[in-house]
Amino acid sequence: MAQSLSAAQKRHLRALAHHLKPVILMGAKGVTESLTAELALALERHELVKVKLAADDREERDAVIEALTSATGAALVQRIGNIAVLFLRNTKQPLIVLPRAP
């Protein structure tokens, strides 16, 4: 289950993600077990990651993002073109302090 974020929290995370480079690069094979496992590790370590998608049209990109968020439990912060920003709080050692949700 993907976590939900308030508008203020998304705005804060977008600002933090602005300077980040994509950590996960999706290949031509699409969403695979190894891709979701690598994404889960990156989210656990960084909490906020950029993913570069290898999908041509908008509907395909949205389907890929939905598959990634449902597989990892991450929340979609932002999608611009073929770059998605995902966030998943590390329950053991949170790295990012979020603004309080209203």
pLDDT 10s digit of each residue in the chain, 102 long? 457 888 999 999 999 999 999 999 998 888 899 999 999 999 999 999 999 998 888 999 999 999 999 999 999 999 999 999 999 998 888 888 888 766
CA atoms within 13 A on the CB side of 81: 4
**Residue-level pLDDT at 1:** 45
Select 7-87's CATH number: 3.30.110.60, 1.10.10.60, 3.40.50.300, 3.90.1150.10: 3.30.110.60
Other CB atoms within 10 Å distance of the CB of residue 6? 13
Domain ranges within the chain, ordered by starting residue: 7-87
Q: What is the pLDDT of residue 97?
A: 82
